[in-house]
Amino acid sequence: MGFLRNRAGVIIVVAIGVAIVAFLLSDAIRSGQGFIADSQSEVGEVGSESISYKEFNERVEQNSQQFKQQMGSLNAQMTAYVVENTWNQTVSGIILKKETDKLGITVGESELFDLLFDNPSQQVQQIFTNQQTGQFDRATALGSRKSADTDPSGQLKSQWVALEESVHQQRVNEKYINLVKNGIYVNSLDAKDDYTNKNKLVNFEYVYKDYASVPDAEVKVTDADYKEYYEQNKYKFKNVTETRSFEYVAFDAAPSKQDTLDAKVKIDKIAEGLRASTNDSLFVAINADTKAPIVYQKRGQLDPALDSVMFSAGKGFVYGPYFSNGTYKVAKLIDSRVSPDSVKARHILINPATEGGMDKAMAKADSLKKLIIGGADFGKLAAQYGTDGSKDKGGDLGTFSRGAMIPAFEDAVFNGSVGQTLIVPTQFGIHVINIQSQIGSSRVVKVAVVDKGLIPSSTTEQVAYQKAQSFLSNVSDLKSFEETAQKQGLNKMVGADVTPLQSSLPGLDDARSLVRWVYKSEKGDISNEIFDIGDKYVVAVLTAVKPEGTLSLEDVKTQIEPDVKRAVQAKVLKANFEKAVSGASSLAQVAQKTGTQVTPVENVVFANPVIPGVAQENKVIGSIFGSQPNKVSKVIEGDRGVYVYTVKSFTSPAPITNMLKIKGQMEQAITQQVDASVFEVLRKKANVKDFRAKFY
């Protein structure tokens, strides 16, 4: 007790201190967790500005939807392209916004409207071009924009927001680039140099030996040679982004012979069922892998195998089974008829959602049909009651061929008669259609196709997976990986210098899961899982990590081996040629000593540094244009071999008569390089950090 009393003050101070430190630490930890959470939600940074994953991913989704509308679906490569394109748009937007804000560059509302509807940008034209006329459909574009404000799903609105942002950014970029282009200037000295380089001629003679003429026995590459070459060329070995290399083995789970036989038995049974079917559409919907609507098609639109038989066959004819693009198929001719090649029609689209249901929409459509048959103006009714972009054109859809409209709409207008008014329900609403004209005629067929993809059975997949699992259980490091692969006779593949966002590798179309593992691992790590990629099971080992920045000699040693060997060959040849040049008064003497021949060359210009019959030799031609005539040169190491030359004569060009023309040509050539060069410079200065590999 006495001890405690004597030291009570110290104990209290220490206790309070510990409490304060604990409080501060807990607060710091909470703050740190918030910081970590923030960093984990960032997909990248541009200078001090972060790019949140949420906002970036929304843009990716918007761009993906637009891409799907054009392509139908996205595979791994297409998805990677969309992500990359969205990233470039986002980064360029941030970088250029900073630059344009400094300069006060803007795009006003009227200017944006003009770019969307009156003088549309290229991307707007692509979206709203009439497929029949090939012209921009302004009315459809305006109608779509108006519909976006009332779209209950909000999807159309978000697509328009993305489009407007893209058009706005593109116009700002153009203004900025144009400012840079307007600052390009070529002075008279530049123009004179360019004119001389393109027109001054030189005649010379040379002797030459190719590096490959040095026998391998005389080429002894040492570590000193590697180091010397590396130090002289270090500037070539800058890694723009971190790359990684790995080795992997793949166990094939492609369909076996038995799988093929089983698939053939199944398609044979399906063929029997299709022959006996009385409801072919339902049969296709139940049995086909590809659930596509059955529509009339003209010659050239079917599979080549079907195109040659269906147009001369009778109804009910069944063709197949046959094999096409990895799929077994069987086809049945449902109908064949002569049909118009194209149709001109107009319609009034009624939206059941705004009419209070399908029954009320049908009743309204029926009333409109009666009015039209009674002589009412179709165009005025379309303008008053239509709900799509065509209402501004009196419902006019123009002239279109088969395949331009959805099946129900298409069947109605191609199978109907001119002047007929029809009511057709589709997934878009109720259409009141008037057929204005039908043009041409040709035979079309309606063919039901049932397809069954040739896929591996569970047994085939299980056998391949067990092989992969057995291999994985026997390896623990790079050495055992290589030994086991060799022992089992497996073909070891290499993923060399893979970037963080790479999505495919040779033979592996969608390898994102594997690449993500690679960038989470340490050199020498064996994959802790078996990757299921396409029809293969993959096991990998990480073999090399090349960081961003200047690579080490060890990182590039294999890469530079041919160049180092050539440098050693150059030393051997140069030493031989220098002995020959020493004491020689003519090129003929040098040729005699080196076992070569003198080759004459005429009318070479500095701007085209090619030695005819040999190669482009910038260093050699540059040296020639800086030499005095009639003198034996020093030994020059070129790209292809070593050279000794003698200049015979120079021919100067005529004086410049039109300096302005030459300046204009040079300015135009420089201007063409501005678009890519300016942004690349800005990007390098912007300190861009890319974290996308964590998310995609």
Question: What are the tens digits of pLDDT across the range 649-674?
Answer: 999 999 999 999 999 999 999 998 88
Residue 98 has what pLDDT? 87
Q: Given a cut of 60, is residue 353 above it in pLDDT?
A: yes
- Which secondary-structure segment (H or E) carries 590? helix 587-594
Residue-wise DSSP of 246-271: EEEEEEE----HHHHHHHHHHHHHHH
**Over the stretch 63-95, which tens digit does the pLDDT of each residue have?**
888 777 766 677 777 888 888 889 988 898 888
Q: Span 201-214+556-651: which CATH code?
A: 3.10.50
**Over the stretch 147-197, which tens digit does the pLDDT of each residue have?**
888 888 888 888 898 889 889 888 988 898 899 999 899 999 999 999 999
**Over the stretch 143-159, which tens digit does the pLDDT of each residue have?**
889 888 888 888 888 88
How confident is the prediction for the chain on average, in pLDDT? 88
- Which secondary-structure segment (H or E) carries 396? strand 396-401
- Report the candidate in 501, 533, 535 with the shortest Cα–Cα distance to residue 518: 501
Q: Span 342-439: which CATH code?
A: 3.10.50.40
Q: Give 328's contacts (C-beta < 8 A, 6+ positions apart).
A: 263, 264, 266, 267, 320, 321, 322, 451, 452, 453, 454
Q: Given a cut of 50, is residue 26 above it in pLDDT?
A: no
Choose between 66 and 469: higher pLDDT.
Answer: 469
Q: Given a cut of 70, is residue 14 above it in pLDDT?
A: no
CA 348 from chain center: how many Å?
A: 40
For helices 155-182 and 138-150, angle between their N-to-C axes, nearest 10 degrees: 130
Could you tell me what percent of the chain has a pLDDT over 90?
60
Are 199 and 605 spatial neighbours (Cβ–Cβ below 8 Å)? yes
Segment 535-551 shows an average pLDDT of 93
Residue 2 has what pLDDT? 39
Q: Given a cut of 50, is residue 433 above it in pLDDT?
A: yes
Structure tokens at 386: 């239509």
**Over the stretch 360-373, which tens digit does the pLDDT of each residue have?**
999 999 999 999 99
62 pLDDT band (50/70/90 cuts)? Answer: confident
Residue 25 has what pLDDT? 37
Helix H, strand E, coil C: the string for 595-627 is CCCCEEEEEEECCCCEECCCEECHHHHHHHCCC
**Over the stretch 294-317, which tens digit does the pLDDT of each residue have?**
889 888 889 888 988 999 999 999
The three-state secondary structure class of 81 is helix
Q: How many CB atoms lie within 10 A of CB 224?
A: 8
Could you tell me the CA-to-CA distances from 140 to 285, 343, 437 in Å, in that order? Answer: 34, 19, 22
35 pLDDT band (50/70/90 cuts)? Answer: very low
pTM for the structure as a whole: 0.62
Q: Which fold has domain 243-254+457-550?
A: Chitinase A; domain 3 (3.10.50)
- Report the candidate in 203, 596, 266 with the shortest Cα–Cα distance to residue 452: 266
Least confident of 12-21, 458-467, 586-595, 609-618: 12-21
